[in-house]
Amino acid sequence: MAHFFKPKNNKRHSSRSGSNGQADGVISKQHQKVEQLSIARLSDDGRGITAHNGKTVFVENALPNEIVDVVITNEKSSFYEAFAHTINNKSSRRYEPQCAHYKDCGGCHLQHIDLSVQQDFKLTNVLNKLLHIGKITPQNILPTIGSEGYNYRQRVRLSVVHTNDKILLGFRKKNSRALVDIDECAVMAKPLNDLIGLVREWLNKHRPSVSHVELINGEQCVGIIIRHVKPISNVIRKKLNDLLEKFHITCWFQATKGDALTTIDDRTCAPELTYTLEFLSDEKIRQIVYLYHPQDFVQANSKVNQKMINQAIALLQPQAHETFLDLFCGIGNFTLPISLSAKHVVGIEGSSKMVGQAAINAVNNHCDNTSFKKADLFEAGAVEKIVNREEDSDVVDGIDGIDGIDGIVLDPPRAGAKMVCQNIKKLSPNKILYISCDPNTFIRDARILIDNGYILKDFGVVDMFAQTYHSEVMGLFVLNKKSNVNLTTGKIK
């Protein structure tokens, strides 16, 4: 997934200090100003592309067909990097950013571009990569799934920096470790924006040793995770509780990354956040309510998540006689909706806590035709354990009686599902739906699937993170009936 809180640690920005120079217009003496450059197209990360002195120039804050004066901030053997100092003629697709911090903050990259153009750019970019890197052309292009460009993000992590004068709370600056002290974030859900002032007040008044603050917008409960590097006294914890309790906000504390969360009064945190999805089942609206722990992974854009699952079901068309595997299933985000139409769905996940939570969600929503198992799907033998139903394997315990797998859902982390795809012939499903938060690993794995006898029938972009250059993709692979690969043996027929 994409994260707003991770600053880039990229050598291509090493010549810069602090912001990108657009805020005050000051040009450093060592930087070269070049006038009247014509922008041809956008790069993968949304920068304008032009040429100067026989080299490619990557220009921040520039759009195709604009004539700009740029300041070159970095020179390599084959390219320059620059920012648009002056835009001499603005593109009709240029959009006025709604966030007051956009020029400095590194969280968003594309707020200066109209939302529909952002989505066209992402789709075109991924299709070009599919063709030129993977040598793949989808049979059908799906409409891009998106939502509003602002106030969509249901979960964010803010960094905290302690200075002599005050404590800063916000996101990293563009191309810098420095922090932008924010008053609001235009892409955050409104209930989370309302918390920034309260948390800042507590931090500056009591100055606890806090490194990060995570804000989570659940349906019934808004939550805050306070990550601290030194113990916080009960007195100071209570001061935060006094600020929050009137707004029905729950707070948890975490000493170090990976530690269990505790409440204000030092009790262990229990799952108490929820989100709801709705589906048409037997001509009635069926709600699925997911209960989750603050540390569980859930999608950050709830509206896109609903649309994404709707599209997944439309593509898979699960039937009452079919059995599915949902690999990297999390807390059952895809598993439970698919189970409304399928015979049986088995969810497999590497986190034992999320496996347990998925099983609880299935029981709570009366999805009795599901089962959940823990397995490391990056492990070489995981697929064999599923196929062979080894008696000592937690992966397959409880799924006896399943004669075969009709379809698979893959929703892996950024690393992708290479091991599963390399062993796909051992499962031999007729259809595979692959949802990816990294188009590069999707292309790698898509090539593996195609080489194993599948075709990419449907493909589209899921714009989970509007205003950023991050793209998620969804592809439906179906067994190529004309393939000369025997999926059982892996041999050419």
CATH number, domain at 433? Answer: 3.40.50.150
Instruction: List per-residue pLDDT tens for the chain, 493 residues long.
Output: 333 334 344 443 333 333 343 433 444 545 788 899 999 999 998 999 999 999 999 999 999 999 999 999 888 999 999 999 999 999 999 999 999 999 899 999 999 999 999 999 999 999 999 999 999 999 999 999 998 999 999 999 999 999 988 999 999 998 788 999 999 999 999 999 999 999 999 999 999 999 999 999 999 889 999 999 999 998 999 999 888 887 888 899 998 777 889 888 778 888 889 999 999 877 789 999 999 999 999 999 999 999 999 999 999 999 999 999 999 999 999 999 999 999 999 999 999 999 999 999 999 999 999 999 999 999 988 888 777 755 444 544 445 545 689 999 999 999 999 999 999 998 999 999 999 999 999 999 999 999 999 999 999 999 999 999 999 999 999 998 775 544 444 444 4
287 with 142, same domain: the answer is: yes
Cβ neighbourhood burial of 76 (10 Å; 0-12, 13-18, 19+): exposed
Lookup: tokens for 107 = 């969280």
Asked if the structure places residue 123 within a domain, the reply is no
Sheet holding 179-181, edge to edge: 179-181, 167-172, 155-162, 210-217, 222-228, 249-254, 262-263
The residues that bridge with 100 in the sheet, in sequence order, are: none
252 with 307, same domain: the answer is: no
Distances (CA, A) of 377 to 170, 395, 416: 35, 10, 10
198 with 189: CB under 8 angstroms? Answer: no
Q: Which residues contact 397 (CB under 8 A, 6 or more apart)?
A: 373
54 with 161, same domain: the answer is: no
Residue 251 belongs to a domain with what CATH number?
2.40.50.1070
Domain that holds residue 239: 155-217+222-263
Bridge-based pairing state of the strands 370-374 and 344-349 = parallel
Asked if the structure places residue 457 within a domain, the reply is yes
SS3 167: strand
> Strand locations in 77-154, DSSP E?
79-89, 140-141
Asked if the structure places residue 426 within a domain, the reply is yes
Closest of 209, 184, 219 to residue 101, by C-alpha = 184
Catalytic site residue from 105, 185, 367, 437: 437
Tokens 């505790």, residue?
262
**Number of independent structural domains in the chain:** 3
The pTM score is: 0.88
Asked if the structure places residue 174 within a domain, the reply is yes
190 with 324, same domain: the answer is: no
105 has catalytic annotation: no
135 with 189, same domain: the answer is: no
377-422 pLDDT, tens per residue?
999 888 887 777 554 445 444 455 456 899 999 999 999 999 999 9
